[in-house]
Structure formats: structure tokens, C-alpha cells
Homo-oligomer: A and B are copies of this chain.
Amino acid sequence: MKPSIPKGTRDFTPIEVARRQYIFSTIKDIFERFGFQPIETPVMENLSTLTGKYGEEGDKLLFKVLNNGDFLAKADPAALAAKDSNGLVRSIARRGLRYDLTVPFARFVVMHRNELNFPFKRYQIQPVWRADRPQKGRYQEFYQCDVDAIGSRSLIYEAEYVQIIDQVFTKLDLSVKILINNRKILTGIAEKAAVLEKMTDMTVAIDKLQKIGWDEVNAILERQGFSPESIDAINALFQVTSLDELENALAGSEVGEQGIQEVRQVFSYLDGYHLKQELKFDTTLARGLDYYTGCIFEVQSLETKMGSILGGGRYDDLTGVFGMPDTSGVGISFGVERIYDILMELDRFPDSNVANVDVLLIAFDASSHLAAFKMLSALRSQHIKADLYPEPTKMKKQMRYADNISVPFVILIGSEELESEAYTLKDMRSGQQWSLSLTSIIDKLQSAGEQ
């Protein structure tokens, strides 16, 4: 049997795990400095929790877990007779795989509301599953990295996210543009253009602006029955870029003015804070998801054409569906899989990030091998990642292994070395070698490790 893994899933080799951990730990460190705490939720959720939360398309993309045992005994006979797969699922699958981290987070908050202190600031880095057609850069099993602050309407969180985004991408050595807008401003524009009842159509079209340009956007609006006057008004309003001018343009729209006030407040929190990345107020940022109600965010790479690598915003009723209404929160989600691809493309993973041993011991005969094994403990107790080739076989074979694993140093041990207690340390990159006591070797390896 030739083994394989399901399409759209991946194995991660040590170097890939190390690179992924580098991204995760960079982000986690910054989250924790800002007071966010980790939670984890089960991979399997009840389908009653997941179904209906992601639209009809999302329901189709949920992975469902077959009930164990004689599942057909309780299968819906009508659906079975009609060979109705969709109709049958409910009676043979109670559980499904997590589709995102947002719905499980909302469920978690409601279930644990009495143990949690609000505002509750949590982060969560876990895999999710979607039965999308796999393609380059799109997987059926992939990680999401979410951070949310729930239980307060304070705009300090929006400002903190800008700082977090700024620090994370700076730490990862990437240049990005941080876009901020506010749903209330979009509502204000729709109000001013007298298209409030077609607000969703307008934002869906505007969402495409960056990709397709105004001509195409206007063509879409026209097809959806927007009048020429309202299209003109929409065009004029979205071409206002400064907050001051927009404030004039939206004067009289209460919700629009409130949106502008919120964005101003976020900027005032950031006043005096030295951002290293570009922050831009952009009225044409719309974000697809319906549940956003306040500030919205997006981050774009300035160095690749990777599209959006982060999205988020404020929502006012995420937990309502689980019986806890009127709980405002705000969150962002890092596109960690895309960030990985960008770091690979730009070759920005630090070299030191390779998970590897620091030194390999090579022994020439059985008694040297036994002595070498005992030297390992001395090295490891000094936090040096040391390893020994498992048999005192031909030197050539052992040196080839050392080459293959790209170990930076080897120590050569034979009977003479044992006698003299001076071992040969070889730098595998430069080819330099020294005859040293074990203590001197430890010193040398430790100072090499610190560089």
C-alpha cells in the first residue's frame, strides 16, 4: 500500500514546524504583552452550533463527522428512501469540524460567561476545516489566528489592534499598509446618497473597487438598479478621502457623524505613538462579513500581490444567537498561512530559526562511542542541543550524515582523543578545526550559540 494524505491537508516537517512556530510565537508574545490570553476549543463542535452560521455555501463546506456505531438505525427513513444526502445528514452526523474560530469563540463566551471577567481579551491559534476545492495556497485544513476583546464598547481596543498589527509585522520584517474604516461611515454615505435600503448591494460593489476600478463598480451598481443620480452621489462621496471633508459631506447623517467620531477617537489614542507601518483611513474598505457594525480593518502586504493578510472589526451581536445579546466586541484575524507564504517568497525567515542540533558527536570505535554518549549529558546540561551518531561506523558515513542534517559543529572522538582528553571540534561551515578540552568546547559552542 502506497500511503497518502487527504487532498488539501499537509504534513509539516521539522523546518516547516519551526517556521510556523516562529510566526505563531512572534504574534503570541505581542498578544500577551497587550493582555490577551489564550483559549482553546474542541476540533469537533456540535453541528447545531455550526450550521446556519456561515450562509448556505458555508453549510456545504462544513466537514461532518459520522455518528459512531449503527448510525443507519436512526437515519431519517424518508431522506434515505429519497437518497437525499442533505436531508440525511442531520440524522447520521451530530458533530462537525470547526469552520472558523469566531463561532466557537462566541459559543465559548456564552457557555463560560459566569467564569469570565469582562472585558475578556482572548487569542486563539488553532486549525479550521473547510471542504473548499484545494488549490495553490488554499487548504482544507489550515490555521487561523484570532484575537478578540469582548464586553466593552471602548475604542481603546481598536487603537490597540493598530499597535499590535504595527508591532507584529515590524517584528516579522514585513512592510504593510493598515486600512481602517467604519461601517457607520458606509451607512452614512448610503444615507447621503439616498440608497440606505440598498446598503448591502452598495458595500458589496465597493468591496471590489480596488480590484476592478470605478467603471466596473458603476456598471455593477447600474445593473442592480441604482439610479444615475445615486451612482453620481456614491462616486462623489467615496472620492472624499480626508476625515474633515467627509465630516462636512456627511453632516446631518447621525450615524455617519458617529462613524467619523469613532475613527477620530482611534487616531487620538494613537496620537504620539510612533507607527512603523503605514496606517490609512479608507472609506472604500468594506469587508464582506455582515456582522461588523463599527470600525473595520484590513492589512495588505506592500511587497507582494498576496491581497489581504488580516481582517477584522467591531461587532455588536456575535453572541446573540447563543442567547447573550447586546455584547459588543472587536477582533482581528491574522492570515497566518498567507503570512507564511510571503515570508517564504521574500526569504525573510531568520536563519537561526532552523530546528536543529548544535553539535554532532562522531566516534571511531566502541569505547569512544560509549564515552561520547556520556559526554552528551555534559553538553545537554549546558543547554547545548547535542547528538551522537548512533554507531561508531565509518567516519565518511558519519560526516555525510552531519552534512545532510546541516549541523554547524561536529566533535570527533577516538582512542587518542579519549587518552589526551582533547577532542577535535570542527566548524562545518568554515572547515576550521581545534583540539580542545570538553570545557573549552562548551564555552566555544555557547558563544557560537549567542551570536
Query: Residue-by-residue, is A129-160 near B (CB-CB < 8 Å gives 1, otherwise 0)?
Result: 10100000000110000000100101011010
Contacts of A156 in B (CB 8 A): 373, 388, 390
Q: Is B69 in contact with A85, judged by CB distance below 8 angstroms? A: yes
Complex CA distance for A63 and B405, rounded to whole angstroms: 37
Check A73/B45 contact, CB under 8 A, given A111-B11, A112-B11, A322-B1: no
Q: Is B2 in contact with A391, judged by CB distance below 8 angstroms? A: no
The answer to the question of A223 belonging to the interface, with a C-beta cut-off of 8 Å to chain B, is no
Q: Is A6 in contact with B404, judged by CB distance below 8 angstroms? A: no
The answer to the question of A394 belonging to the interface, with a C-beta cut-off of 8 Å to chain B, is no
The answer to the question of A236 belonging to the interface, with a C-beta cut-off of 8 Å to chain B, is no
* Chain B nearest CB, measured from A81 CB (Å): 10
Complex CA distance for A137 and B269, rounded to whole angstroms: 48
In the complex, the chain B residue whose C-beta lies closest to that of A68 is B131
Complex CA distance for A140 and B65, rounded to whole angstroms: 13
Contacts of A374 in B (CB 8 A): 269, 272-273
Complex CA distance for A103 and B85, rounded to whole angstroms: 32
Q: Is A40 in contact with B17, judged by CB distance below 8 angstroms? A: yes
Q: Is A377 in contact with B39, judged by CB distance below 8 angstroms? A: no
The answer to the question of A387 belonging to the interface, with a C-beta cut-off of 8 Å to chain B, is yes
A positions within 8 Å CB-CB of B? 1-6, 9-14, 17-18, 21, 32-35, 37-46, 48-49, 60-61, 63-66, 68-73, 75, 80, 83-85, 88-89, 92-95, 97, 107-108, 110-112, 115-117, 119, 121-122, 127, 129, 131, 140-141, 149, 152, 154, 156-157, 159, 163, 268-269, 272-273, 321-323, 355-357, 370, 373-374, 377, 380, 383-388, 390-391, 401, 404-405
Q: List 5 A-B contacts (CB under 8 A).
A: A6-B45, A12-B39, A17-B40, A42-B141, A43-B97
Given A117-B401, A154-B390, 15 more contacts at CB 8 Å?
A: A2-B323, A4-B111, A5-B41, A10-B42, A11-B42, A33-B384, A35-B385, A60-B69, A63-B65, A64-B65, A65-B65, A80-B80, A117-B405, A152-B391, A273-B377
